[in-house]
Amino acid sequence: MNTVDPAAPTVGLTVPAKVGDRLEDVGTPALIVDLDAFERNIDRMRAFCAAHGVRHRAHAKTHKSADIALIQMTRGGACGICCQKVSEAEALVAGGVTDVLVSNQVIDRAKIDRLAALAGRARVLVCVDDAGNVDDLSAAACRHGSMLECLVEIDVGAGRCGVAAGAPAVALAKRIAAASGLKFSGLQAYHGGAQHLREHAKRRAAIAAATGQVETTLALLKGDGLDCPIVGGAGTGTYRFEGTSGVYNELQAGSYVFMDADYQRDLDEHGHPVTDFENALFIWTQVMSHVRPDRAVCDAGLKVQSVDSGLPVVFGRSDVVYVKATDEHGVIDDPHGALRLGDKLKLVPGHCDPTCNVHDWYVGVRAGRVEVLWPVTARGMLL
Amino acid sequence: MNTVDPAAPTVGLTVPAKVGDRLEDVGTPALIVDLDAFERNIDRMRAFCAAHGVRHRAHAKTHKSADIALIQMTRGGACGICCQKVSEAEALVAGGVTDVLVSNQVIDRAKIDRLAALAGRARVLVCVDDAGNVDDLSAAACRHGSMLECLVEIDVGAGRCGVAAGAPAVALAKRIAAASGLKFSGLQAYHGGAQHLREHAKRRAAIAAATGQVETTLALLKGDGLDCPIVGGAGTGTYRFEGTSGVYNELQAGSYVFMDADYQRDLDEHGHPVTDFENALFIWTQVMSHVRPDRAVCDAGLKVQSVDSGLPVVFGRSDVVYVKATDEHGVIDDPHGALRLGDKLKLVPGHCDPTCNVHDWYVGVRAGRVEVLWPVTARGMLL
């Protein structure tokens, strides 16, 4: 952990703390990382992948941090990193990541050009679901004298990007294999729609169906003499299914490193909330108004989180409930008047990925002290 | 408009365009501002305030841009600017704003200290709803030899911050008036809960009730010999009511400058959507996958907007509908197959304030060309 030690920034406009500060003195609102829980999450995913003989390509769209990506690759044993944007990939490579999959389509020619340039500095993979796009990628790779590895994305149920499994996927794989500057490196078969199916049996069935579609495609590829070194997919909600499928060999879970309130609503086979990973990420917030005895107002509203997957949960407290988010405020029901003006609380974000996306810093805390500050390296990298 | 001309940044990691680019070449996803519509919105608000003899203190929590704030004060005639955070106020003052109200409580002592320091460089006002907070603000102002103007916030129906109207507000005003380093400058009576009541009659009734509470408080203040130079409040949904009340004298609307899909669902007295202001802000997005003929996927998902108030609306198109947002993707129903891979679209954000909060740049466009790039000066200023 201490190998990552950026020059300590000056506490100021956007920097909520300095190394050595006590947790209670960290400014609000801010993202804090419980480093012990974070490390346990990383260790658990490494152990799972080792036990099942699969690789982990950790998804950086969760955290957008080069520092965390490097920890996932070193301590966590990840073979590489996923991200979603060319600009994210550029920022991660600049931060030391050597192997990056843009697990998304890149259509715009200016972005394709940057991607092909980046492939001269790191291993770069990208997803494809369109034949014309293959031609554009090939032309750019040839122009830069670089090699872009391509995964054919198949839509295994999410209803978003990707061609149909089977013949359409194979046709695209052949086109890639025949294109200069490109390499067909496998299949992208991520089922985004399955991650938050609450029932264990439903998630299992969704991934079984996805796996079947992958197997069909693999058989056709084999029949055509095409190697498929990567079968990638899986998220924090389903990684156990892909990881034990015998078909997927590269898991792309990202949220596992932090967990969030929405993923914790997924249920295990006994109907209990999944406990594979711990909450390691919190919004640190302060009670800034408490006029009515039964209602506190904190400084964590819509600008420090995304509430698309529900409101945040007050961590470790059953006596107070976060009930409403407006732009700059969170309203907290405090029926027993337990909170005081100035009190600070930890909130578990409803959805970690778009929450991290609005912050500039992670404040890493251990034993009540700030141990490290990590910039959100790729924050704002939308292009 | 041309008085604001920051050094053109290099198009790159987070910069989607350069001055002179054609709109169709602007990178996606990005925020674009229709400068003609933007200026008409500013002119309309200025005309309204002039006609009704009220001041406009434009709310910068919408845009977080010093450039736009200065345009609101010059072209728009605004008397000053509102914001919600001390760090925002610092960024706006650094950008040239000379008169700023933090329309929020500032409780944390480190922030109070910065606020008092800032009051040595600009006119600074802040809201108060706690007696102990008055003492802390006074101590800091004395320490810095500065003067903080305080507005007593009263809860006129939003159920969030603020003391009760009447005697509690007067008690707080007296405490401020008696405190060294502070000045009692008036009342903050913003009704956040009324802005999005769809029916005109309900919004009118809510502001009438709020106005009544303000009048009660004003009468008591007068009885105690306390001047109340500012009666502040109002948002884009209700500004006509406060502005014609004869009681409020400083309007704080912010969203008017951009408008968003949620505000456009408010209805006028005839039951039609309000048309006081035009859409001037758009998320510029590209179709990045279009495998199924009836479904396009664009590159504007949860990380380029907030969907707390509903999904974005495709501008100027009735044939396609944005139906789902995931982290990095927007799914668009395209029943007639009207869209092509690579097509670019304008989306009207569901809620502009937290949408602007995730971007670094506004791309100002006029007649199909990029005229100006404004940084989102106070983006990330949470503290």
Q: Output the DSSP codes for B172-198.
A: HHHHHHHSTTEEEEEEE---GGGTT-S
Q: Which residue in chain B has the smallest CA separation from A330?
A: B160
Mean of all residue pLDDT scores within chain B: 96
Give contacts of A382 with chain B, Cβ < 8 Å.
Answer: 14, 16, 29-30, 303-304, 359
* pLDDT the model gives residue B282: 98
At residue A169, the 3 state secondary structure works out as helix
In a mutational test of the B interface, the residue from A190, A286, A289 whose CB has the highest number of chain B CBs within 10 Å is A289
* pLDDT the model gives residue B12: 65
* Closest CA–CA distance from residue A51 to any residue of chain B (Å): 30
Chain segment B46-78, per-residue pLDDT in tens:
999 999 999 999 999 999 999 999 999 999 999
* pLDDT the model gives residue A12: 65
* pLDDT the model gives residue B101: 98
Exposure of B363 in the CB half-sphere (CA atoms within 13 A): 29
Q: Does A286 touch chain B (CB under 8 A)?
A: yes
Cβ pair B308:A289 closer than 8 A? no
Q: Does B288 touch chain A (CB under 8 A)?
A: yes
Tell whether domain A35-265 is in CATH 3.40.50.720: no
Band of pLDDT at residue B14, cut at 50, 70 and 90: confident
A192 Cβ neighbours under 8 A, 6+ residues apart: A158, A160, A235, B326
Chain segment B323-359, per-residue pLDDT in tens:
999 999 999 999 999 999 999 999 999 999 999 999 9
CATH of range B35-263; options 3.90.850.10, 3.40.140.10, 3.40.50.720, 3.20.20.10: 3.20.20.10
Cβ pair A14:B382 closer than 8 A? yes
Q: Does B252 touch chain A (CB under 8 A)?
A: no
Q: Which of residues 114-133 of B touch A (CB under 8 A)?
A: 129-130, 132-133
| Overall average pLDDT of the B71-88 stretch | 98
* pLDDT the model gives residue A9: 60
pLDDT at A2 over 90: no
Band of pLDDT at residue A10, cut at 50, 70 and 90: low
Exposure of A370 in the CB half-sphere (CA atoms within 13 A): 27
Which residue's entry shows tokens 């709109």?
B23
Q: Does A375 touch chain B (CB under 8 A)?
A: no
Mutual orientation of helices B66-73 and B86-94 as an angle, nearest 10°? Answer: 70
Mean of all residue pLDDT scores within chain A: 96
Structure tokens at A58: 């950790």
pLDDT at A1 over 90: no
* pLDDT the model gives residue B4: 37
| Overall average pLDDT of the B354-381 stretch | 96
Give contacts of B304 with chain A, Cβ < 8 Å.
Answer: 382
pLDDT at A225 over 80: yes
Task: Give CATH 3.20.20.10 domain extents, chain A.
Answer: 35-265
| Overall average pLDDT of the B266-273 stretch | 96
The CATH number of the domain covering residues in A23-34+275-375: 2.40.37.20
Say yes or no: ipTM exceeds 0.90: yes
Contact A283, A305 (CB under 8 A): yes
At residue B123, the 3 state secondary structure works out as strand
Structure tokens at A27: 């400014």
Task: Give CATH 2.40.37.20 domain extents, chain B.
Answer: 23-34+275-375
User: In chain A, count of helices (H) and strands (E)?
Assistant: 9, 17
Band of pLDDT at residue B5, cut at 50, 70 and 90: very low
Burial of B350 (0-12, 13-18, 19+ CB in 10 A): buried
pLDDT at A5 over 50: no
Give contacts of B360 with chain A, Cβ < 8 Å.
Answer: 380
Percent of chain A, pLDDT > 90? 96
Give contacts of A297 with chain B, Cβ < 8 Å.
Answer: 160-161
Q: Does B369 touch chain A (CB under 8 A)?
A: no
